[in-house]
Amino acid sequence: MDFELTQEQAMYQRAVRDFCEGEVKPYAAQVDETGELRWEAIQKMPMLGLTGLQVPEEYGGAGLDTVTAAIAVEELGRACGSTALSVSAHNGLCCGPITNWGTPAQKERYLPKLTSGSHLGALALTEPGAGSDLAGGVRTSAVREGDSWIIDGSKAWITNPKYAPVIVTLVRTDKEAGTRGFSMILVEPQTAGLTIHPPEKKMGLKGSPTQMLSYDEVRVPLDATLGDEGRGFHQTMQTLDSGRISIGALSVGLAQAAFEEAVKYARQRRAFGKPIAEHQAIQWMIADAALEIEAARLMVYRAAWLKDRGRDFARAAAMAKLMASETAEKVCRNAIQIHGSYGYSREFPVERIYRDQRLMTIGEGTSEIQRLVIARKVLAEM
Ligand SMILES: Cc1cc2nc3c(=O)[nH]c(=O)nc-3n(C[C@H](O)[C@H](O)[C@H](O)COP(=O)(O)OP(=O)(O)OC[C@H]3O[C@@H](n4cnc5c(N)ncnc54)[C@H](O)[C@@H]3O)c2cc1C
């Protein structure tokens, strides 16, 4: 297997990096402090296909392969965690399912809007009582009434609802059918009975809105079902497998950003008569970060590469997400350590990056769940 980027991938990486250096990174602290994404940047993203990374070109997307999409998410993560999370959730969790399972009419209705740079889409799986255990815990239900579904329940911790033209919602459509009793339904935010609550007050990723949703007799037509009725759980697992590549890429980007800040600081700061970069203890942290970021990045590329070839990538994606998110945690922790007290100050970006990365071992499957997925696959294979 050859991991060298193709010429197109390398050129795209350069273009996205330049865009992020100009439009995203300089505003990351402002996004964190105001709790608002910078829409001037998001509106320009369609130019580079960032709001429709893997959406076919006929719907305004870039139709990219998964490796190239991962490269883009890494670059966004290197620039601003909040922007990267909202844009990657939009791509992987909303555009992805609609591209994969939407009817021509559903694609026509939503994808051009989603790729336009004026909206960000959402996927609502998690509930107040169900995160890791969606199969056992999801209570939100949809019941048929004539030619409509009536949806009741609530969702929690959902990224982007306030910007979404459509919220892909996981519901139970048959309470007796176990994992075959779930469906995905497309719900438009202005539908009567749907309440989008104010954004949660979070530790990090403050510009990326995370909201609770209440569904009180929300009526949508039966043709708002995304994919086949009863396939929602399977679709969710497939979406999360792909989403793990994105969260892995985002984690690599955050780790890379903290690492670059730490190296810059270690060269400038002097202690005991020399730059701290010349003290061996600091060099070890730098060496470990370089090593682990490289390993995590290659694992993300490999999972993406397997997916692009139509091969089974679930184990590789779980491993990449686990490795990259835990690497980000360690690299960001050490980046603060290298900065000493200055790392604990809001004046330096490592404090924000540390808070932003903390989600990565939790969202789209916690580290514990990734280990379960990996162990199950290993035990089945060996
Ligand atoms: C900023 C943010 C954005 C998010 N965006 C979205 C979104 O867009 N859409 C969406 O649907 N959700 C979203 N989420 C929700 C997120 O995916 C869930 O929080 C996550 O899946 C964990 O679920 P939970 O919080 O219910 O934790 P729980 O499932 O309650 O887990 C609590 C702890 O128990 C552990 N645990 C659970 N089961 C096991 C087990 N079998 N073995 C060992 N340990 C176990 C977990 O690893 C964890 O440590 C978001 C969350 C945040 C914070």
Same domain, residue pair 342 and 238: yes
Cβ atoms within 10 Å of 339's Cβ, excluding its own: 23
Q: How much is the CA Rg of the chain, to the nearest whole Å?
A: 21
> How far apart are the C-alpha atoms of 123 and 322, rounded to whole Å?
22
> How far apart are the C-alpha atoms of 42 and 23, rounded to whole Å?
9
Mean pLDDT of the chain: 97
Total structural domains within the chain: 3
Same domain, residue pair 182 and 249: no
3-state secondary structure of 165: coil
Atom of ligand 1 lying closest to residue 159 CA: 8
CB 42 within 8 A of CB 51: yes
Tokens of 2: 């050859």
Q: For 291-298, what is the mean pLDDT?
A: 98
Same domain, residue pair 181 and 47: no
The closest residue, in CA terms, to atom 29 on ligand 1 is 132
Point out the domain boundary residue: 115, 131, 151.
115
Gap from CA of 361 to ligand 1 centroid (Å): 9
Identified catalytic residue from 36, 108, 364, 368: 364
* Residue 216: inside a domain: yes
* Residue 79: inside a domain: yes
For residue 306, give its domain range: 233-381
DSSP 8-state secondary structure symbol assigned to residue 93:
I
Same domain, residue pair 227 and 278: no
Q: What is the dihedral of CA 263, 265, 271, 277, to 10 degrees?
A: 10
From residue 368, alpha-carbon distances to 140, 204, 319 in Å are 25, 21, 11
Q: Is the pLDDT of residue 3 over 90?
A: no
- β-sheet bridge partners, residue 143: 150
What is the pLDDT confidence band of residue 49, given thresholds at 50, 70 and 90?
A: very high
CB 331 within 8 A of CB 360: no
* Residue 99: inside a domain: yes
* Residue 1: inside a domain: no
Q: Is the pLDDT of residue 353 over 70?
A: yes
Q: Is the pLDDT of residue 152 over 70?
A: yes
Q: For 146-150, what is the mean pLDDT?
A: 98
Point out the domain boundary residue: 231, 247, 278.
231
Same domain, residue pair 144 and 104: no
Summarised one tens digit per residue, pLDDT across range 254-294 is 999 999 999 999 999 999 999 999 999 999 999 999 999 99
Q: Is the pLDDT of residue 71 over 80?
A: yes
User: Among candidates 65, 71, 92, 82, which has minimal Cα distance to 15?
Assistant: 71
Same domain, residue pair 198 and 265: no
Which residues make Cβ contacts (< 8 Å) with residue 308, sequence separation at least 6?
A: 65, 66, 67
The values of phi and psi at residue 65, to 5°, are -75, 170
From residue 16, alpha-carbon distances to 24, 84, 117, 211 in Å are 10, 12, 15, 29
The values of phi and psi at residue 183, to 5°, are -140, 160
Q: What letter represents residue 280's amino acid?
A: Q
Element of type H or E holding 327: helix 314-339
Same domain, residue pair 224 and 237: no
364 is catalytic: yes
Q: Which residue has the tokens 């808070």?
A: 355
> How far apart are the C-alpha atoms of 34 and 287, rounded to whole Å?
35
The closest residue, in CA terms, to atom 48 on ligand 1 is 366
Gap from CA of 51 to ligand 1 centroid (Å): 25
Same domain, residue pair 214 and 278: no
pLDDT exceeding 90 applies to what percent of the chain? 99
> How far apart are the C-alpha atoms of 121 and 1, rounded to whole Å?
35
pLDDT at 2: 53
Tokens of 286: 């730098």
pLDDT at 1: 47
Tokens of 232: 């929602």
pLDDT at 17: 98
* Residue 2: inside a domain: no
DSSP 8-state secondary structure symbol assigned to residue 188:
-
Same domain, residue pair 226 and 246: no
Give residues (CB < 6 A) around ligand 1. 89, 93, 123-126, 131-133, 157-159, 202, 205, 210, 359, 362-364, 366, 368-369, 372
Summarised one tens digit per residue, pLDDT across range 211-268 is 999 999 999 999 999 999 999 999 999 999 999 999 999 999 999 999 999 999 999 9
pLDDT at 4: 83
Same domain, residue pair 222 and 273: no
Q: Is the pLDDT of residue 296 over 60?
A: yes
